[in-house]
Amino acid sequence: MSLWRDIGNGVTMGLARCEKSPETCIVILQHKHAGNGADCMAAAVPLAVPCRAGNKENYWTVEKAGLELTLSPSISCPCGLHGFIRDGHWVSA
């Protein structure tokens, strides 16, 4: 299940439920590739999500939840998109 909404500056945010821990979400950012304009996606996994292996650099802290979602640190996509989710909106870095 996912819920999508426009968070501004050409970025749409989806919240996908984690199969191993349904009470948690993975944040997915749909946007246009910064270089060629093709459709592109990036993801951020909140620190509390237990369904992803890796070290702390692979996770984000939820500073605010709900419609005013705020994550830190910034999110960077390999295509060049870089910014923050602050108060439920995309803020370019």
Encode the chain (93 residues) as per-residue pLDDT tens digits.
457 899 999 999 988 776 766 666 778 899 999 889 999 998 887 765 444 444 455 678 888 888 888 888 888 888 989 999 999 999 999
H or E, element range at 56: none
CA dihedral 69, 71, 77, 80 (to 10 degrees): 90
On whether the CB atoms of residues 1 and 16 are closer than 8 A, the answer is yes
